[in-house]
Chains A and B, each alone.
Chain A
Amino acid sequence: MNADLASPHHGYPGRLFVFEGLDGSGKSTQAALLAKWLAAQGYRVFQTEWNSSELVSNTIRRGKKKGLLTPTTFSLLHATDFADRFDRKILPPLRAGYLVVCDRYSFTAFVRDAARGCDPEWVRTIYSFAPRPDVAFYFRVPVRVTLQRKIASRLKINYYEAGMDLGLSDRVHDSYERFQSRLKREYDRLAVSDRMTVIDSTRPVERIQAELRDHVRPILAGFPTMETLMHDG
């Protein structure tokens, strides 16, 4: 493995691009488009997303039925899931020199657990095994817009996404708005403390994608494509 390919952020030969933001902020659409563009240029790309796995969703379902889940156990279960994904899906391609496009990363946990009242420092310690990405995009959008997008796409709002477990409101939409606003406040804070790249996500898809590509190009200067690896290696 070529030593000068090591990332200044995490030391692995691959590169880690993280997409963060509220549900409905457009980050998944943008992540998929960026991955496609990168692959089209001949880079080795690996795309992964962090949604509830079987382990977490089964346990959460069971916990919910019995009313057993607390912010602490909720946080630890998600951390368990993330650790497993990190070991399987993120670390191997990163070590193999891939461009890893991550839809949600540890920031999602920092934001969600803080909104549920967990000690932020404790949460950070738990996730200390996850290295700093080369770039972390934060898709910033008003909560109102994400709700409109949700309603327009007729997606059902789930219990935890609406923060119904916090008892903010009995009405799902109301609770959703309040909880997502909390999440947004936490994201806005992280954007500063963790120097995330803030993307104004109220603009058209094409504009945003063009901006992302501008951010990514300098990071990839001198980074080998599949072809250069095969012929120069």
Chain B
Amino acid sequence: MTARTYGTRLPGLPPEPLGGKLIVVEGADGSGRTTEVARLKEWLEIQGHAVVDTGLRRSTLVSEEIDRAKQGHTLGATTMALLYAADFGDQLENKIVPALCAGSTVLADRYIYTLMARAIVRGASRDWARRLYGFAFVPDLVVFLDARPEILLHRAIGKYGSLDYWESGMDLSLSRDLFESFFLYQARLADEFGWMATEYGFHHVDANRRPDEVDADVRALVEPLYRPAAGGRGARARTGAGSATPDGRAASG
């Protein structure tokens, strides 16, 4: 991929284009995202591609702080947004960049879009959130798994036996009722993803279906990224995640 960020120069980035590919799978909890990431990883590896998978909040740098903050519920919205951004930055620079440099495919189970949506729903301005994550790379492909709230609800309950406090947005005090809060929160997130879809070039996949049907659609989107076609990698990358921001420019200058 060409090392292009969403507008902000990332200090210390290698100047040459990165060899690997960055594929992002986004979608709400219960959209089948994690299942799809596992399937896609398996498929890509069988094709002979080295795959590194990454998700949110898996970095060693601040995960403890995030856990502690969640237990205490004490940090403000801006503070939490910045803490998540630090965590993402750590993963980007210490995991994603090295993997891309090594020519691997990085498969991201959620990316800045979820982080931005969560921050915005909690009171951050859209503009602030977009600029905050301006240092993130523009992926080669963003797949968005679209599922109806009722489907999300059934899968969430099926998976955990109940609804999760955070995934129901209980910290937002939308409703004291967990069930109702879940719907209100997911609707707000969906709204934010809707705003981002065109801007960031999401490829929607209907996730109300069976996993193998979803997987087939995702493969159809991923497959062309590896085609050694005329026009090559660069051309593909541009049709991938699209020209996201008007001021998006090459990070390596």
Show the binding face of A for B, using Cβ within 8 Å: 55, 58-59, 62-63, 66, 68-73, 76-77, 79-80, 83-84, 86-87, 116-119, 121-122, 125-126, 128-129
Q: How far is the CA of A197 from the CA of B90 in the complex (A)?
A: 37
B234 to nearest A CB, angstroms? 24
Which label, helix, strand, loop or mixed, suits the secondary structure of the B interface? helix
Across-interface contacts of B76 in A (CB, < 8 A): 83-84, 87
With a CB–CB cut-off of 8 A, which chain B residues contact A125? 128, 131-132, 134
Chain A residues, CB < 8 A from B94: 68, 70
Q: Find the A residue at minimum CB distance from B78.
A: A83
Q: Smallest Cβ distance from A212 to chain B, in angstroms?
A: 31
Contact of A70 with B12 in the complex, beta carbons under 8 Å: yes
Q: A84-B76, A122-B8 are in contact. Are A68 and B86 (CB under 8 A)?
A: no
Cβ of A109 to closest chain B Cβ, rounded Å: 11
Q: What 1/0 flags go to B7-24 for Cβ under 8 Å of A?
A: 011111000000000000
A69 to B69, CA, bound (A): 21
Please name all residues of chain B whose beta carbon is closer than 8 Å to the beta carbon of A59 when the two chains form the complex. Answer: 61-62, 65
B173 within 8 A of A: no
Closest beta carbon of chain A to B4's beta carbon, Å: 15
In the complex, B60 has a CB within 8 A of chain A = yes
Other-chain contact of A73, B9, B61, B131, B134 (Cβ < 8 Å): B61
Q: Are A83 and B10 in contact (CB under 8 A)?
A: no
Judge whether A71 and B82 touch: CB under 8 Å: no
Query: Is the pair B11, A72 in contact by a Cβ cutoff of 8 Å?
Result: yes
Ranked 8 nearest A-B pairs via Cβ: A117-B11, A76-B86, A80-B82, A83-B79, A125-B131, A87-B76, A122-B8, A83-B78
- Name B residues whose Cβ lies closer than 8 Å to a Cβ of A: 8-12, 60-62, 65, 75-76, 78-79, 82-83, 85-86, 89-90, 92-94, 128, 131-132, 134-135
Query: A122 to B134, Cβ gap below 8 A?
Result: yes
21 contacts between A and B (CB under 8 A): A58-B65, A59-B61, A59-B62, A62-B60, A63-B90, A68-B60, A68-B90, A70-B11, A70-B89, A72-B89, A72-B135, A73-B90, A73-B93, A84-B79, A86-B78, A117-B12, A119-B11, A122-B135, A125-B131, A125-B132, A126-B131
Measured in the bound complex, the distance between the Cα atoms of B86 and A13 in whole Å is 33
Choose one: A73, A119, A122; the contact of B86 (CB below 8 Å).
Answer: A73
Check A72/B93 contact, CB under 8 A, given A59-B62, A80-B83, A119-B8.
Answer: yes
* CB of A71 to closest CB in B, whole Å: 5
Closest to B92 in A: A72
Q: Which residues of B contact A55 (CB under 8 A)?
A: 65
User: How would you classify the secondary structure of chain A's contact residues: helix, strand, loop or mixed?
Assistant: helix
A70–B93 touching, CB < 8 Å:
yes
User: CA of A34 to CA of B125 in the docked complex: distance in angstroms?
Assistant: 36
Can you add 12 more A-B contacts, CB < 8 Å, to A87-B78, A121-B8?
A: A68-B60, A68-B90, A70-B94, A71-B11, A71-B12, A72-B92, A80-B82, A84-B79, A86-B78, A122-B8, A122-B9, A126-B131
Contact of A80 with B79 in the complex, beta carbons under 8 Å: yes
In the bound complex, how far is the Cα of B61 from the Cα of A70, in angstroms? 11
| Residue in chain A with minimal CB distance to B65 | A55
Q: Is the CB of B82 within 8 A of A83?
A: yes
Residues of A within 8 A of B89 (CB): 70, 72-73, 76
Cβ of B130 to closest chain A Cβ, rounded Å? 9
The reply to whether B11 and A118 contact each other, CB–CB distance below 8 Å, is: yes
A63-B61 in contact given A72-B135, A122-B131 (Cβ < 8 Å)? yes
Query: Whose C-beta in chain B lies nearest to the C-beta of A125?
Result: B131
The answer to whether B82 and A126 touch across the interface, beta carbons within 8 angstroms, is yes
Nearest-CB residue, chain A, relative to B127: A125
Which chain A residues border B79 with CB–CB below 8 Å?
80, 83-84, 87
Task: Kindly name the residue among B79, B90, B134, B135 whose own CB sees the greatest number of chain A CB atoms within 10 A.
Answer: B79
Complex Cα distance, B90 from A62, in Å, reads: 12
Closest to A59 in B: B62
Per the bound structure, the CA–CA distance linking A154 and B137 in Å amounts to: 45
Are B10 and A84 in contact, CB atoms less than 8 angstroms apart? no
| Chain B minimum-CB-distance residue to A128 | B128
Q: How far is the CA of A203 from the CA of B28 in the complex (A)?
A: 61
Q: Which residues from A are CB-within-8-Å of B82?
A: 76, 79-80, 83, 126
